Amino acid sequence: MIRHALSTRLWHWINAAAIIVLFMSGLTISNAHRYLYWGDYGFDPKDAWLAVIKFPTWATIPQHYNLAVARDWHILAAWPFAIGLLFIWAAMLANGHFRRNLVTKPADWTPGAVLASVKSHSGGAAQGYNPVQKILYGGVFGVLLPLMVFTGLAISPGFQAAAPWLLEVLGGRQSARSLHFIASWAIFGFFVVHILLALANWRLILAMITGGGRKAEPSAPAPDKGEPAHG
């Protein structure tokens, strides 16, 4: 059985590229106004709940301050990100990956299960997802990635007129912007941990490229040499 389906591998690498472009172009957009607010309005730094640092140009797209170009890159990467999320959810539900590997039980949320997962972590889904992996991946797929899409749509001027209810659900445009910022950094944190764990076991990276090995078929038991041959 293939460890990683082709649909999973395609989504993984396309999504990784989209997230990198979204994050780096988002840093340029953040540099345009480095303050975050709650509610519908916000422009005065004294009303901000957070003053964001100015990000260096080597970490941004483009690698100089150009808000218009950054927004073009952001929108360009947002399409494969959003469509890819819809695709991978359909694929996970269709091929059973969500049911088999991401659905948690109450016992998975206990401190004992979490501690056992950390101690026994061997870096791969080849032996099944442990409770910590289920919780983390479930949170990313079920909360953070969808939140990025919905908050991104909410703060997009072209979408606000089409679905004003989305801003109301998120608590206003500035609240949506703050949630977008928080979710993006949470994904960045997951991204870093994910890469470090993958680098600790290079076979994980190879498996995400090739699909991983197939499980060996059980071999038939050898005949007992003490028994007479049947003619």
For residue range 117-138, list pLDDT tens digits in order. 877 754 444 456 888 889 999 9
* Residue 109: Cβ within 10 Å count: 12
pLDDT of residue 200: 80
Any residues with CB less than 8 A from the CB of 6 and at least 6 apart, and which?
Answer: 211
What architecture does CATH give domain 6-210? Up-down Bundle (1.20)
Which pTM does this prediction carry? 0.84
Percent with pLDDT over 70 in the chain = 87
Q: What is the mean pLDDT of residues 210-231?
A: 53
Domain parsing of the chain, residue ranges: 6-210
Burial class (CB in 10 A: 0-12, 13-18, 19+), 41: exposed
pLDDT of residue 121: 59
Any residues with CB less than 8 A from the CB of 66 and at least 6 apart, and which?
Answer: 28
For residue range 64-88, list pLDDT tens digits in order. 999 999 999 999 999 999 999 999 9
